[in-house]
Structure 1
Amino acid sequence: MIALLDRLRLLHIREFTTHWGRTAGSIVVMAVSSMFLVAVLGISGSLTGSADPAGLAGDAALEVSGVTDAGFAEAVRADVAAVPGVRTAAPVLRANAGPDDDPLLLLGLDATARELGGGLGGALDEDRLTALATVPGGVLAGPAAGYAKGDVVQLRSGRVTVAAVLGDDGGELNDGHYLIAPLPLAQLVTGRAGQVDSVLLVTDPDADAAQVRSAVTAAVAGRALVGEPAIRAAQNGNGVLMVRLMAAMGAGIAFVVAAFLIYNTMSMALAGRRPVISMLRAIGGRRQTIVRDVLAEAAVLGLVGGAIGSALGVVAGRYAIGLLPAAFTQMLQARLEYLLPWYAIPAAIVAAVLTNVLATALAARQIYRMAPVEALAPVGAAHSDRVPVRARVVAGVLAVVFGVATVLVMRAHLGLFAAVGLGFAFAAEIALAFALGGPIVRAAGALARRLGRAGVLAGVNIDRAPRRVWATTMTVCIAVTMTLTITGANADAVRSARDTFESLADSDLWVSVTPEDLVPTPLLPAEVAERVAAVPGVERVVQGQLAFATFAGTKALIYGVEPGGNFAMTAALDAATRERLLAGEGVVISRDLARTLGVSAGDEIPVQTPTGEQRTRVLAAIPYFSALTGAASMSLALMREWFDRPGASTLQVEGVPGGDRERLLADVRAALPPEVHAYTGDAALDGVSRSMEQGLVLSRVMLVLVAFIAAMALLNTLTLALLERRRELGILRAIGSSRRFALKMVLAEAAGIGLAGTALGVVFGLGNQVLYAYLAGDMMGLQITARPGPLLAVFAFAALALSLLGSIPPALRAARLNIVEAVSAD
């Protein structure tokens, strides 16, 4: 036991206290990675959990849900209620109500909702139902809705009065942000008379589930979807799959980067411990014992870093949820609330510990190659400092393997999962850089030698420590690569999405119930089109419709268009295809939806509608941005007929030639009801771009984290380099070199390494940007063109500045070095 304590004190505790900066840096690297993982899991859990209808479904075994967000005829409820084995058929109408920036969920229910059980059903007691029935236009407010009893609330085309406020017993649904209205009142204020969105079915305890479901499906006769209540969450989950996948990949890349940097840091740390390790080996210490202690040290650091990062990840996840675009809330028909899965924090801590231990295990292999006498040699002179040629060859082979895997992913067209191609490309780049480690180190030394006399000596130092220099160069390279990949890919995606919707700006004005940054799916009041057409200065009004519908279990956005419409999906068609579409001969679908359904142009597909199953032909499958869902387009007349949606959800307004657009906008707004929005075509285009940029918030967070990790690792490696050469620097000072010379030498070394790392990072970053543009067609259904912009030079310079900034503390330390202490150091 005494020997164990002495070994721990000598090899670990002493290192923690003496080199506390390196210890803190390792903890910070793992904390940041763990924070990102917890934030990602929190966002994924929130997107999935917010769509879970369990707070409303209660004991319901089946749900009959609408094919579109317009629901279906209330008469369907009577048909399914008559099915043997169905005890309760509770109709539900759902709609978003209240202010656009913080909408409430409006629920239309009747007395049968009490029989659903669960949290909400139990909250609808006799007293509350009595209050609801006795107050004219009365509604029940959720506990977090922000209303008190007696408040009057404006809901679209009508006013309602809060008859009672539910307590915490009704707070699970939509995080307590909802209003409950009697079904007829909800239908009245939303303008959906005779319509419901779903019917929740509670079956008899002794009923056969399969027989009941079969009978309900037959009674529905294709007018709606039949499934378990969780089907709504599953359909909505398809829409956020891309965000969840990209977030998970971001967390994975963050841990890969962290593992690489931990490996570099521990390699340098073990190199700095050579005298101690040599002494332990000389007095009989076993290699296995030393390695085991080093791995235990890594596990402790990973545990501490994971715990700190997990706590920070909860805060970061809550913040990131608030930054997601409002389109998520609209599609889910639920409030995005922060729901952290129970496994998130344990998974982050375990991932941090395993990453730290595995990376340290790779670095600790040098202990097995380190003889007691060789361990006393300075860095660069020992055989273990040189990378074997065999290792370089293996790395080259791995680079080829990962490169081939990237090409296979590109050719396989895996849809959203094509994103793994970026991971393969990143691995190929790291392996290739390791295989070319010698030329990379020599290039860094050559660049340093061009910086004067101090640079010549810095170049010699670079040549003497190839392992450390390669590690530091790759730290800079990773920072530059990730920066260029993320910023370039984001800029390309936003620009290409904007180009896709460019036709929106060709119209003078747009009118819809929703603002410009939301999808205009709610139907406009019937009289709005006539009011707008009568405004002076209006030459033409083109009606259109958008609605979410279900294709083979996948939620898709359908566009209903008529001649003269400027919807982006039809603007991309050739004249012949557009004429066939407007004539109702078929539909045009986005490429990602075609891949999901397994169809192509010319195929016939079934479409489930409130009027029964219809069949139509695919006229074309086109690249179209639909990151949240797939998309389809059909004639407005056909959409109204099939989906039983009269009217329009958008009005495209064209003014007389030469008219004042701002005056026209003001006049149109004056003619509209307060709940209807009017905005210019440019504003509509800006709204699409704004939503796209908000949806990329996770990648921007990842960029900041990677840059921070790289900066910490760079500071650590340069500080370790200074410690390795402390005696050498002392001798230089003793023979007459100035403090300024020592400062210049360290800065020259950092500049050489920074320039080499930046150049390599630019090459890798540009390659990844082009690769992302190619894969985006599979991931987002969007045709992206990679266009490196002028910011490339800015980012490259920023990376070089980062390397120089990280070298300033070690350089100042070298300049202030005490000569006697440095020369006498062991």
Structure 2
Amino acid sequence: TIAQALGDEYIVKTGEELADEESQSLKEGLAFFNNILLGFAAVALFVGVFLILNTFSIIVAQRTRELALMRAVGASRRQIVAAVLTEAVIIGLLAAVLGLGAGIGVGAALAAIFSAFSDLELAAIGVPLTAVISAFVVGLLVTIVAALLPALRASRIPPIAAMQDVATPDRPLTRITVAGALVSAAGVTMLGIGLFGDAGSHTLWLILGGVLISFIGIALLTPLISKPTVALLGRLFSWSVPGKLGRLNSGRNPRRTAITAAALMVGIALVTGVTVILDSAKRSLAALIEDNVKAELVISGLQTGPRQPTFDPAVLDKAAELPGVAAVTGLYVDFALVDDERTYVFAPTDLAGFREIFLLKMTTGAVDQLDAGQLLVDDTTAQERGLTVGSTVQVQLARGERTTYTVAGIYEESDLYDGYLLPPQAATNFTVPQPVQGFLQLAPGATVDQVQPQVDALLADSPEVAVADRAAFLEEQTGLMDQLLVMIQILLALAILIAVLGIVNTLALSVLERTRELGLLRAIGLSRAATMRMITVEAVVISVFGALLGVVVGSGLGAAVVRALRDQGIRHLVLPWSQMVVFIGLAALVGVIAAVLPAIRAARLNVLGAIAHE
């Protein structure tokens, strides 16, 4: 057979086996992406809980007399709870049907777009049974959980309330504040253990659980914070009567304001936190390259496939001969088995150039060049493995046989490189025996403007290779972070959109609840325009309050993660002040937009009909 003829050095597979492997690999990659999307969907559902909770709370408050009358004619507390939860079940089922239909439509549209812009033809759209079941289970569960507290509150309405016509009294905030403090403490504790402790395989779940519980705790504390904060923000608009009325209205019900603002807080907090982490990572990477890489020009291959791009090492030999170039080194990288442990290995094309450009510091041993069978190892790995100069290790590269290497020296670990450094001859047995990057250090007096055109001319016959200066190289390295940030912001926009709908919904129900009050205001001289301004001020104050809360919480969360990642090289904390200001400004704009429909409805109320409204 072919396998026997080629020997053990090669792997022979049938076309069907290769197709199955590629299909499985694609499924694994899509599963990871699917989990990410599910995470953002969970955030959207979490924000949706605030919207549903607020809606049922307002509806129960508006129907106080009706529910009290039901109690007066014999309905039990359990029946009241069942009635409210039945409404929640119906709404949940309707939402599940609409959500499932919208999801199928979006999926079909995305598949059509993907097929139109790629050579891959997708199979017919299929809807798995698990997706249908999940849609109904999640829709019902989320709605019922969100409606449970309002349902219990409705069951406590006394029958005597049917004979009263008074506003619902404000409940003290003591219990919700204590609960919020306890829940927040639990969330922060989980976060601390996950970020700074040693939780092993449970680390990710501790962090995610800590974030979720912290958000719930902060949401419970928000009513306590909302009253003074909303009053302070509202003073910006108190120069006019509509502005003063809007300020008072936005602070008259701390719980309602808090729930509405908390929904917006979650989305903005996550966006702010991710921005802090990625901006800090970019600044840290820039500082790392600036302090540890003394190369003015970088040569690299262009990305043309799934593997890391490489180029012909002969390019580096030619570059070393150019006038104005002082040192050149390239890097081969791969994974190997060292004493049967899979680890990262790399090999510079020229060790002397590597030491000069990357400031390699030897702690033990002095080696200018490595001979075949020699290697260097960083001090941390050497200490962990008990290696000293003269120790031997067994190395199995991607090709060839297992080889014994002798430790010729130990170098100081860097945030840029660590592990086993092999001689350039070993790269012939790497998976891809070509360098992934080349670094050029210029001679004293030489400038990038002088040397880069010469390197470009040298690479004229090598279209797969490009050269960049330090600024362009850094931009290339951080470009992925910028793309990731944009993608996360787009996905989190769904949660923010739901929060905006929550503001619209709260204002609309509030206008309905205050119909008589609005009619009286119109009757004593408040114009339609002033009524609209009053509603708009309410929306803007709530939106800005939610944004401020989100920016503060997100900054704290991001700073904690950056601090926890200090040992991974993220040593600079960057707070994106300009973006925070933009978030708050956009929140104010969102408030104006969210107020349009409720404000128009309030302005169009019939004055006499509104006064007679019960």
1:623-655 residue CA offsets vs partner (Å, 9 max, x unmatched): 469xxxxx8451443743774976644433455
Correspondence for 1:189 = none
Superposition deviation, residue 819 in structure 1: 0.4
Q: Match of 2:572, SS?
A: coil
Superposition deviation, residue 767 in structure 1: 0.6
Q: Match of 2:525, SS?
A: coil
1:726-778 residue CA offsets vs partner (Å, 9 max, x unmatched): 11110121233322332333233334434433333332122112022124458
Superposition deviation, residue 720 in structure 1: 1.4
Within 5 Å, give how 1:144-183 maps onto structure 2. none
**Does 1:435 pair with 2:221?**
yes
Within 5 Å, give how 1:120-135 maps onto structure 2. none
1:759-814 residue CA offsets vs partner (Å, 9 max, x unmatched): 33332122112022124458xx4425221133122222222332233223322322
**Does 1:766 pair with 2:555?**
yes
Q: What is the TM-score when the length of structure 1 is the normalising length?
A: 0.60
Q: Distance in 2 between matches of 1:687 and 1:320?
A: 28
Q: Match of 2:605, SS?
A: coil
Correspondence for 1:712 = 501
Correspondence for 1:816 = 604
Amino acid across the alignment from 1:438:
L
Q: Match of 1:91, SS?
A: coil
Q: Is the 8 A contact 1:758 1:799 kept in 2?
A: yes
Q: Distance in 1 between matches of 2:132 and 2:340?
A: 32
Superposition deviation, residue 816 in structure 1: 2.5
Within 5 Å, give how 1:627-642 maps onto structure 2. 632=419, 634-637=421-424, 639-640=426-427
Within 5 Å, give how 1:428-507 maps onto structure 2. 428-435=214-221, 437-448=223-234, 451-452=238-239, 453-502=241-290, 506-507=294-295
Correspondence for 1:669 = 459
Q: Distance in 1 between matches of 2:163 and 2:475?
A: 65
**Judging changes above 3 Å, is the alpha-carbon distance between structure 1 residues 613 and 734 closer, same or farther for their aligned structure 2 residues?**
farther
**Judging changes above 3 Å, is the alpha-carbon distance between structure 1 residues 307 and 411 closer, same or farther for their aligned structure 2 residues?**
same
The answer to which structure has the higher helix fraction is 2
Superposition deviation, residue 718 in structure 1: 1.5
Within 5 Å, give how 1:188-337 maps onto structure 2. 233=25, 248-285=38-75, 286-311=79-104, 314=107
Q: Distance in 2 between matches of 1:297 and 1:782?
A: 52
Correspondence for 1:547 = 334
Within 5 Å, give how 1:565-604 maps onto structure 2. 565=353, 571=358, 574=361, 576=363, 585-588=375-378, 601=384, 603=386
Q: Is the 8 A contact 1:665 1:680 kept in 2?
A: no
**Judging changes above 3 Å, is the alpha-carbon distance between structure 1 residues 644 and 259 closer, same or farther for their aligned structure 2 residues?**
closer
Q: Distance in 2 between matches of 1:540 and 1:706?
A: 52
Q: Is the 8 A contact 2:50 2:260 kept in 1?
A: no
Correspondence for 1:203 = none
Superposition deviation, residue 295 in structure 1: 2.6
Q: Is the 8 A contact 2:302 2:465 kept in 1?
A: yes
Q: Is the 8 A contact 1:558 1:634 kept in 2?
A: yes
**Does 1:91 pair with 2:12?**
yes
Correspondence for 1:804 = 592
Q: Distance in 2 between matches of 1:346 and 1:278?
A: 37
Q: Is the 8 A contact 2:85 2:144 kept in 1?
A: no
**Judging changes above 3 Å, is the alpha-carbon distance between structure 1 residues 459 and 680 closer, same or farther for their aligned structure 2 residues?**
closer
Within 5 Å, give how 1:335-346 maps onto structure 2. 342=128, 343-344=130-131, 346=133
1:34-90 residue CA offsets vs partner (Å, 9 max, x unmatched): xxxxxxxxxxxxxxxxxxxxxxxxxxxxxxxxxxxxxxxx99985549xxxxxxx85
For structure 2, which runs of at least 5 residues remain unmatched after alignment?
Answer: 388-392
Correspondence for 1:400 = 185
Q: Is the 8 A contact 2:535 2:599 kept in 1?
A: yes
Amino acid across the alignment from 2:478:
S
Q: Distance in 1 between matches of 2:126 and 2:368?
A: 45
**Judging changes above 3 Å, is the alpha-carbon distance between structure 1 residues 406 and 572 closer, same or farther for their aligned structure 2 residues?**
farther
Q: Distance in 1 between matches of 2:287 and 2:31?
A: 24
Q: Distance in 2 between matches of 1:721 and 1:730?
A: 14
Q: Distance in 1 between matches of 2:539 and 2:284?
A: 38
1:667-693 residue CA offsets vs partner (Å, 9 max, x unmatched): 1122x4444444445433322222333
Correspondence for 1:129 = none
Q: Distance in 1 between matches of 2:335 and 2:294?
A: 25
Which of 548, 570, 575 is 1:783 aligned to? 570
Correspondence for 1:825 = 613
Q: Distance in 1 between matches of 2:315 and 2:235?
A: 75
Correspondence for 1:186 = none
**Judging changes above 3 Å, is the alpha-carbon distance between structure 1 residues 368 and 682 closer, same or farther for their aligned structure 2 residues?**
same
**Judging changes above 3 Å, is the alpha-carbon distance between structure 1 residues 358 and 585 closer, same or farther for their aligned structure 2 residues?**
same
1:264-310 residue CA offsets vs partner (Å, 9 max, x unmatched): 23322333344544454444443144134223223223313431442
Q: What is the TM-score when the length of structure 2 is the normalising length?
A: 0.78
Q: Distance in 2 between matches of 1:417 and 1:564?
A: 44
Q: Distance in 2 between matches of 1:554 and 1:355?
A: 47
Superposition deviation, residue 527 in structure 1: 4.6
The answer to which structure has the higher strand fraction is 1
1:519-563 residue CA offsets vs partner (Å, 9 max, x unmatched): 755462x65444445566655542321235568999865432243
**Judging changes above 3 Å, is the alpha-carbon distance between structure 1 residues 767 and 309 closer, same or farther for their aligned structure 2 residues?**
farther
Amino acid across the alignment from 1:709:
I
**Judging changes above 3 Å, is the alpha-carbon distance between structure 1 residues 577 and 427 closer, same or farther for their aligned structure 2 residues?**
farther
**Judging changes above 3 Å, is the alpha-carbon distance between structure 1 residues 250 and 680 closer, same or farther for their aligned structure 2 residues?**
same
1:316-371 residue CA offsets vs partner (Å, 9 max, x unmatched): 8769999xxxxxxxxxxxx9999999545643553333222322223322222223
Within 5 Å, give how 1:106-121 maps onto structure 2. 113=14
Q: Match of 1:817, SS?
A: coil
Which of 700, 708, 733 is 2:489 aligned to? 700
Correspondence for 2:134 = 347
Q: Match of 1:364, SS?
A: helix
Q: Distance in 1 between matches of 2:500 and 2:384?
A: 51
Q: Distance in 1 between matches of 2:226 and 2:510?
A: 18
Q: Distance in 2 between matches of 1:579 and 1:391?
A: 66
Amino acid across the alignment from 1:91:
V
Q: Distance in 1 between matches of 2:268 and 2:44?
A: 14
Q: Distance in 2 between matches of 1:506 and 1:766?
A: 34
Correspondence for 2:144 = 357
Amino acid across the alignment from 1:658:
A
Q: Distance in 1 between matches of 2:470 and 2:122?
A: 32
Q: Distance in 1 between matches of 2:556 and 2:242?
A: 35
Q: Distance in 2 between matches of 1:315 and 1:308?
A: 11
Q: Distance in 2 between matches of 1:639 and 1:408?
A: 43
Within 5 Å, give how 1:502-513 maps onto structure 2. 502=290, 506-513=294-301
Correspondence for 2:532 = 743
**Judging changes above 3 Å, is the alpha-carbon distance between structure 1 residues 700 and 77 closer, same or farther for their aligned structure 2 residues?**
farther
Q: Match of 2:595, SS?
A: helix
Q: Distance in 2 between matches of 1:320 and 1:405?
A: 42
For structure 1, which runs of at least 5 residues remain unmatched after alignment?
Answer: 1-73, 82-88, 93-112, 121-171, 176-229, 323-334, 626-630
Which of 652, 677, 680 is 2:439 aligned to? 652
Correspondence for 1:382 = 168
Q: Distance in 1 between matches of 2:32 and 2:355?
A: 24
Correspondence for 1:756 = 545
Amino acid across the alignment from 1:296:
V
Q: Distance in 1 between matches of 2:563 and 2:266?
A: 22
**Judging changes above 3 Å, is the alpha-carbon distance between structure 1 residues 321 and 581 closer, same or farther for their aligned structure 2 residues?**
farther
**Judging changes above 3 Å, is the alpha-carbon distance between structure 1 residues 476 and 696 closer, same or farther for their aligned structure 2 residues?**
closer
**Judging changes above 3 Å, is the alpha-carbon distance between structure 1 residues 273 and 301 closer, same or farther for their aligned structure 2 residues?**
farther
Q: Is the 8 A contact 1:476 1:803 kept in 2?
A: no
